[in-house]
Structure 1
Amino acid sequence: MIAWMMLAAALFVQATAPRDTSLDRSLFDGRRLAGWVEMGKAGAFVAENGILHLKAPQNHPSWLRTDREYENFVLRLEYMVTGWCESGILLHAPLYGDLARTGLKLHLRHDRSPGGVRAAGALYDLVPPLAQANKGPHKWNALEIQMNWPSLRITLNGVLIQDVRLDRSEALRSRARRGYIGLEDLGFEMKYRNIAIRELPDTDRPWRPLFNRVDLEAWVPDGEARWVVEDGKIVGSDGDGSLLTKEELSAFEFQTYFRTSRHANGGIFYRRNASSNGEEIQIYNVPGSTHPTGSIYGQVPAREVSCRDGEWCQLRMISDGPYTAVWVNGRKVAESWSMASADKGRLGFQNHSDGRIEYLEPKVRPLSATRAP
């Protein structure tokens, strides 16, 4: 008992020790939303009297994000709920897709009721809080988030509520390690102030863009489909065909955002070379189909349809020898350890209907030495 009391005291002292804020950079000047981007309908968030105020909530999919991505950092802010409320702070959020499942979400509520991985202070659907330290409505809460992968430590009102190693399980390890910091809008009023960040050195493998957002110079079209660049996006339409990279890739991780018109059919080609047509990750948002979006075509059907036509979604995949895995909006939907094709070839997009598919920010990176998915 004495040992447990000493440990608790040590954690409290560590969590409440004074922090050096001399290198922090303000993310909110108290007067404008400069440095932030409203996603969804504009006007939900306003700056007034030194407070970033979610004054006119729009609910999902509205949210407010930083104007650039972050990897490792110390984030400090204060927040206040004004009544019955649930909301969240988004970490490493993607531009589109399932924000809380692709990145991480610190769940915020007005109360301290039990809820496990959906209690106040939980990493949403992942890790329950060590303690609940949130104050009730109309009181300011002091929050500090230390993200230095694989370590994530969160203190709330001087109490350590999360102390997590993000490399200890696939559920945590597979989450994005870089992304936007976001303030969620779930339909409830929220207030924030004194938002500041200190960036820490990056440690993740960098991504390399496959598309310059201007032209298709690095790509080769094939077939009848029409491929154009519109507003920084690659767009395929009007029949069957493909658009492939000029370079060949092997042992890589790939990611892109995509948006389909109604019943559009297409996919991601990879391992395509002179001796093989390679493999395909299907894009077809039709429940009940044999190979819905995320399927490794002809081999492993996707477990669920995690995307809907007309909405931007995120697709991520790994190709590594006999292994392929696919995530759609943060959900692993297909996986195979028995790929027979050679892990080298060109990568690209397929169009297989009269529909239209848009692709945004396609990028790639080599796999790490550990090959951990």
Structure 2
Amino acid sequence: MNGRILGLETAALIGAAFFAIGCGLGGSPAAWEVSGQAAETTERSPSPLPAILTDSEVAEGWIALFDGETLFGWQAVGPVKWEIHEGAITAESAEEGFLFTTSRFSDFLLRLEFLASDETNSGVFLRSPLQIKDVATDCYEVNIASPEKSEYPTGSLVRRQKGKVIEPKPGWRTLEARAEGGKITVRIDGEAVLEYEDPHPVRKGHIGLQAREGRIAFRNIKLLPLGFRSLFNGKDLSGWRTHPQSASKVTVTPDGSLRLQGGRGQLETVDVFADFILQLDVFVNGRELNSGVFFRCIPGEMMNGYESQIHNGFLDGDRTKPRDAGTGGIFRRQNARKVVADDFRWFTKTILADGPHMAVWVNGYQVTDWVDTRSPHPNPRQGLRLEAGTIIFQGHDPGTDIFFRNIRIAELPRE
């Protein structure tokens, strides 16, 4: 691990030198073709973590729901004991129990692998509440069971629609479920087995894993949020505004990135957002620079909202010891559990805000999972703010030099 970190630091120093050359010519990170070393700095951050997602998956916006090592971002409901064995979530029980994501999702594409025995009766739940009263109305249960074990064979929606029966494969199998509006489609081992249209769709809920009968294991659980719209056209600042007291300089680079320099200052959206998933790419052009993405901000005020930190520093060579909350931390609320991103390399941040619950992924790896338990208050510095607010990019200080691109948002329905 230490050797890999040293390599990252060396590459970052090389990248910084070439970045200064590129930006001095009016360029931006994505535009460099100066040399092989300079081109290397445009690649996504090499992860010091298990290879959960590929670079292309991160670029597409996929997030990992399971990190392969812990149950961070999950909560158990029921008597079943969930364990992690060789990079998989496993359970064996004669009683019914669930493992739910702490986050809720609306429109998405879900992919995972499962390993079931002949006696298994299990399932994957979509848009589910934590307490299920009726699977025919409360959620969508994608069943995992043989035709001999259940009238709803693997890939069916229990009590909604039976799926096509396909010949099971030995070993690990794949499940893909797409939920978009009222349309649910399921593929098992790459083959389409179900297409279902709900005239009264469940709009939002948790992803759930079920243990009911027999052994079951799940791994490589990943999700692609859907329904995004762009917040930045790559040409000008339409839809954005600066603050009259802002000392930051905001420019649009020739390749269509936002560049925020200097501070103290901010760039703020004109529109307001309440519950949402926000994704964007970030490039930090300096060693351990400080910035942030603020959300549910009081419109027109200086950085008065929740802050998802941007700071790639860590202590003692240990990425589990973030300096100043760490990239993806909810500043002054919850530190990032690991610093995943690096300076001088593009990284992707995903921010989910759903009522009092907030979660952040960096390069598809979940780093925070926080619930604001304070009493409601319109000012987020003083309490739980549920009101819609603006999104702000922070110019922290005179040394700020941050690039943003591919800024998009998918609003989540509210009950």
TM-score where L is the length of structure 1:
0.51
Q: Give the counterpart letter for 2:291 in structure 1.
A: G
Answer yes or no: is 1:333 the counterpart of 2:367: yes
1:275 Cα deviation (Å)? 8.8
Q: Give the counterpart letter for 1:95 in structure 2.
A: A
Q: In 2, Cα distance between the equivalents of 1:326 and 1:101?
A: 11
Candidates 56, 59, 81, aligned match of 1:95: 59
Q: In 1, Cα distance between the equivalents of 2:297 and 2:221?
A: 26
Q: In 1, Cα distance between the equivalents of 2:341 and 2:65?
A: 13
1:293 Cα deviation (Å)? 0.5
Counterparts of residues 24-35 of structure 1 (less than 5 Å): none
- Residue in structure 1 matched with residue 345 of structure 2 by the alignment: 311
1:239 Cα deviation (Å)? 2.6
Kept in 1: contact 2:299–2:390 (CA 8 A): no
Kept in 1: contact 2:114–2:175 (CA 8 A): no
Q: Give the counterpart letter for 1:297 in structure 2.
A: F
1:172 Cα deviation (Å)? 7.7
Answer yes or no: is 1:213 the counterpart of 2:242: no
Kept in 1: contact 2:350–2:362 (CA 8 A): yes
Kept in 2: contact 1:267–1:282 (CA 8 A): yes
Kept in 1: contact 2:277–2:411 (CA 8 A): yes
- Residue in structure 2 matched with residue 285 of structure 1 by the alignment: 312
Change in Cα spacing, 1:92 to 1:243, as seen in structure 2 (3 Å) is same
Answer yes or no: is 1:153 the counterpart of 2:188: yes
Change in Cα spacing, 1:126 to 1:284, as seen in structure 2 (3 Å) is farther
Answer yes or no: is 1:343 the counterpart of 2:372: no
1:355 Cα deviation (Å)? 3.4
Q: Alignment partner of 2:307: what SS?
A: strand
Q: Give the counterpart letter for 2:250 in structure 1.
A: W
1:94 Cα deviation (Å)? 2.9
Q: In 1, Cα distance between the equivalents of 2:407 and 2:219?
A: 24
Counterparts of residues 239-318 of structure 1 (less than 5 Å): 239-261=263-285, 262-274=287-299, 277-288=304-315, 289-318=323-352
Kept in 1: contact 2:349–2:361 (CA 8 A): yes
C-alpha offsets along residues 167-208 of structure 1, whole Å, 9 cap, x if unaligned? 434998983326xxxxxxxxxxxxxxxxxxxxxxxxx4x101
Q: Alignment partner of 1:94: what SS?
A: helix
Q: Give the counterpart letter for 1:306 in structure 2.
A: V
Q: Give the counterpart letter for 1:214 in structure 2.
A: K
- Residue in structure 2 matched with residue 232 of structure 1 by the alignment: 256
1:103 Cα deviation (Å)? 11
Q: In 1, Cα distance between the equivalents of 2:370 and 2:241?
A: 28
Q: In 1, Cα distance between the equivalents of 2:326 and 2:313?
A: 6
- Residue in structure 2 matched with residue 131 of structure 1 by the alignment: 170
Q: In 2, Cα distance between the equivalents of 1:274 and 1:330?
A: 29
Kept in 2: contact 1:220–1:243 (CA 8 A): yes
Change in Cα spacing, 1:208 to 1:292, as seen in structure 2 (3 Å) is same
Q: Alignment partner of 1:295: what SS?
A: coil
Candidates 344, 355, 363, aligned match of 2:408: 363
**Structure 2 portions without partners, runs of 5+:** 1-31, 34-39, 45-50, 68-84, 89-109, 117-168, 180-185, 192-205, 211-217, 316-322, 374-383
Q: In 1, Cα distance between the equivalents of 2:340 and 2:54?
A: 20
C-alpha offsets along residues 131-182 of structure 1, whole Å, 9 cap, x if unaligned? 369xxxxxxxxxx9884427342269xxxxxxxxx9434998983326xxxx
Change in Cα spacing, 1:367 to 1:270, as seen in structure 2 (3 Å) is same
Q: In 2, Cα distance between the equivalents of 1:167 and 1:324?
A: 16
1:296 Cα deviation (Å)? 0.6
Q: Give the counterpart letter for 1:229 in structure 2.
A: V
Q: In 2, Cα distance between the equivalents of 1:169 and 1:344?
A: 32
C-alpha offsets along residues 261-287 of structure 1, whole Å, 9 cap, x if unaligned? 222210101111159711111000001
Answer yes or no: is 1:175 the counterpart of 2:222: yes
Report % sequence identity. Answer: 23
Change in Cα spacing, 1:310 to 1:344, as seen in structure 2 (3 Å) is same
Q: Give the counterpart letter for 1:350 in structure 2.
A: Q
Q: Give the counterpart letter for 1:269 in structure 2.
A: F
1:320 Cα deviation (Å)? 2.3
C-alpha offsets along residues 100-123 of structure 1, whole Å, 9 cap, x if unaligned? 94899xxxxxxxxxx9559xxxx9
Task: Return the structure number with greater strand share.
Answer: 1
Q: In 2, Cα distance between the equivalents of 1:232 and 1:243?
A: 16
- Which one is further off, 338-347 or 253-262? 338-347
Q: In 2, Cα distance between the equivalents of 1:89 and 1:357?
A: 25
Q: Alignment partner of 1:318: what SS?
A: strand
Kept in 1: contact 2:63–2:224 (CA 8 A): no
Q: In 1, Cα distance between the equivalents of 2:111 and 2:357?
A: 29
Q: Give the counterpart letter for 2:292 in structure 1.
A: G
Q: In 1, Cα distance between the equivalents of 2:281 and 2:115?
A: 30
Q: Alignment partner of 1:239: what SS?
A: coil
Counterparts of residues 85-124 of structure 1 (less than 5 Å): 93-95=57-59, 101=64, 117=87
User: How large is the RMSD of aligned CA atoms in angstroms?
Assistant: 4.4
- Residue in structure 1 matched with residue 96 of structure 2 by the alignment: none
Aligned residues: 230
Kept in 1: contact 2:352–2:358 (CA 8 A): yes
Q: Give the counterpart letter for 1:342 in structure 2.
A: L
Q: In 1, Cα distance between the equivalents of 2:410 and 2:52?
A: 30
Kept in 1: contact 2:351–2:360 (CA 8 A): yes
1:257 Cα deviation (Å)? 0.9
Kept in 2: contact 1:257–1:312 (CA 8 A): yes
